[in-house]
Amino acid sequence: MEEFQTINRAVVMVIPKKPFDDWARELYQEEYDSLLEHRTEYNSYLVSDEILTEDPKKALKKHWKFIFQQELFDMYRDDRQWPKRLTWNLFCEFFDVKFSTVVLDLLSKQLIKEDF
């Protein structure tokens, strides 16, 4: 069996729920085609692989606000239209999260980081 390298990161996949979809629908009105019905991929974020030993939600609490802002920005760039208060509870209302603590690099070429 071929061997692959693991990387020292875990993956957090952020999956929008109905309240996020409702917020987006309100912004776009008739032009909006529901995310929940047509979305086939989700944003993923690399975090410390130390969530193996920690509570995953606790590990996410370190990054939830950035992730929340990124998800809102991906949907609507004008932050004046975002929810007024971005809280942990609202984040949990808007998104499900899935964790993967094993990340295998299936390619032999070097990872490249780019500023975002």
pLDDT band at 53 (very low <50, low <70, confident <90, very high): low
CA distance 13 to 19: 17
pLDDT band at 69 (very low <50, low <70, confident <90, very high): very high
Nearest to 15 by CA among 40, 48, 33: 40
Contact 14, 71 (CB under 8 A): yes
Residue ranges of domains in the chain: 5-105
Rounded to an integer, the average pLDDT of 65-89 is 95
Give φ, ψ of 60 to 5 degrees. -70, -30
